[in-house]
Amino acid sequence: MLKGKQTWWFENKPVIIGAATVVGPDEGEGPLAADFDLIHPELDMQQKSWEKAERLLLEQATDFAVLHAGLKKDDIQFYIGGDLLNQIISNSFAARSLGAPYIGMFGACSTSMETLALAAQLIDSGNAQHTMAGTVSHNCTAEKQFRYPTEYGSQKPPTAQYTVTGAGAAVLAATGNGPIVECATIGKVMDLGITDPFNMGAAMAPAAVDTLTAHFNDTGRSPSDYDLIVTGDLASVGHPIAKELLIRDGVPMNDTVFTDCGLMVYDINKQKVQAGGSGCGCSAVVTYGHLLKKVQNGDLKRILVAATGALLSPLSFQQGESIPCIAHAVAISAKGV
């Protein structure tokens, strides 16, 4: 049901009955290591290309998620996925081995919540009994496609972010045990003219602000209704900007715990990740690996995840275009809240 202007309210309470995360070595050295289902010790994962390694991450995450949900691959009626690579090849190729009807989506790093929102919508509307949402990113494929060859010796500025190597998948059902997807606010594209691809945090912050404000206005909720609100990958430059903008406009963000997946996935003081994590794997592994467990064991009752995405292409920024950004927010709660 549409609530307000841009929020889907899921009356039938779709349940996340299983989720899984698979990550690379750097995430495995981060503070959330214990929450991931599988940690690969090498970036190449014994594959012949970075792209194949990325695909493997997603295939493993979706396999584990189906297993955790107590289902078989055939039970997944729709798989909704997306990633950062051109023509979202990681998802299309992984969907080939999954064999489920597939909807590919692109929302850059916001894809994690974009796919979760649609997967929940399909359940809520009665169009499916079981759906799965999945997303993946790999540090080296992102470097290769958006920046320079991985071994190229360029100095990254402190505003740059480190793309997370990781995949996350969640299986949703109409009934079952697990956290509930309460509602989803679909974001608008925001572009305030930031052109620096090494400062994505600042480019994406207004999108997060816009979507969060819309979410509160649509639902009549306030930040204090959530035990935790996280943005996707604004990191140490963008996140404080988003917080400052929200508070400036009178949204009481200090009433809740407001943080960012890009600041949680690494120890940014010890690991050499500049401003923090990014990539669609960032919010996916933090949400599906860490936060869902916290909701399930009762540490958190209700959370809001606003995944942020920079919708640029290597071509668009080379042509001097600014960076359009988007954020999608999904509210997840423990059963019975």
Partner 1 sequence: MSTSSAGGGSYQKMSMSPKEYQDFAKQREPSRSILTNCIKAFVIGGLICVLGQFIQELYIHLAGMDKKAASNPTVATLIFISVVLTSLGIYDKIAQWAGAGTAVPVTGFANSMCSAALEHRAEGLVLGVGANMFKLAGSVIVYGTVAAFFVGIGHLIFGTGGNH
d(Cα 264, Cα 256) in Å, to the nearest integer?
17
Q: Minimum CB separation from partner 1 for residue 107, in Å? A: 20
Is the CB of residue 6 less than 8 Å from the CB of residue 185?
Answer: yes
Residue 306 to residue 326: CA distance in whole angstroms: 10
Q: Is 251 in the site for partner 1 (CB under 8 A)?
A: yes
Task: Encode 286-298: b = buried (16+ Cβ within 10 Å), e = exposed.
Answer: bbbbbbbbbbbee
DSSP string, 33-69: GGG-SEE-SSSSTT-SSHHHHHHHHHHHHHHHHHHHT
Q: Which of 37, 51, 54, 83 binds partner 1 (CB under 8 A)?
A: 51
Separation in Å, CA 161 to CA 157, 199, 238: 9, 8, 10
How many H-runs (helices) and E-runs (strands) does the chain carry? 11, 15
In the complex, what is the shortest distance from the CB of residue 212 to partner 1, in angstroms, rounded to a whole number?
Answer: 9
When the beta carbons of 75 and 225 are compared against partner 1, the nearer one is: 225
249 three-class SS: coil
Q: At what angle do helices 50-68 and 139-146 cross, to 10 degrees?
A: 140
CB closer to partner 1, 25 vs 176:
25
The tokens describing 244, both together, are 């400052």
Rounded Cα distance between 261 and 327, Å, is: 13
Give the interface segment with partner 1, choosing from 18-26, 122-130, 168-176, 236-244 (CB under 8 A).
236-244
Nearer to partner 1, 171 or 190 (CB): 190
Question: In this structure, what is the dihedral angle of CA atoms 4, 8, 14, 16, given to the nearest 10 degrees?
Answer: -110
DSSP class of residue 327 equals E
97 binds partner 1 (CB under 8 A): no
Contacts (CB under 8 A) with partner 1, residues 119-148? 144, 148
> Does 156 participate in binding partner 1 (rule CB under 8 A)?
yes
With contact defined as beta carbons under 8 Å apart, do 131 and 26 qualify?
no
Q: How far is the CB of 220 from partner 1 (least distance, A)?
A: 5
Contacting residue, 112, 185, 219, 256, with partner 1 by CB under 8 A: 219
Do 177 and 17 meet the contact criterion of CB atoms below 8 Å apart?
yes
**Residue in 86, 87, 97, 150 binding partner 1, rule: CB under 8 A:** 150
Interface with partner 1 by CB under 8 A: which range of 26-34, 173-181, 206-214, 327-335? 206-214
CB of 322 vs partner 1, minimal distance in Å: 8
41 contributes a contact to partner 1 by CB under 8 A = no
Binding region for partner 1 (CB under 8 A) out of 34-42, 127-135, 220-228, 310-318: 220-228
- 249 sits near partner 1 (criterion: CB under 8 A): yes
Residue 152 as a binder of partner 1 (CB under 8 A): the answer is yes
Q: Which is nearer to partner 1, 176 or 197 (CB)?
A: 197
- Within 166-205, the residues that bind partner 1 by CB under 8 A are 191-194, 199, 202, 205
Dihedrals phi, psi of 123, to nearest 5 degrees? -70, -50
Nearer to partner 1, 154 or 319 (CB): 154
Total residues contacting partner 1 by CB under 8 A comes to 49
Task: Work out how close the CB of 137 gets to partner 1 at its nearest, in angstroms, rounded to a whole number.
Answer: 17
Interface ranges with partner 1 (CB under 8 A) = 48-51, 144, 148-159, 191-194, 199, 202, 205-206, 209-210, 213-214, 216-217, 219-222, 224-225, 236-237, 240-241, 244-245, 249-252, 272, 275
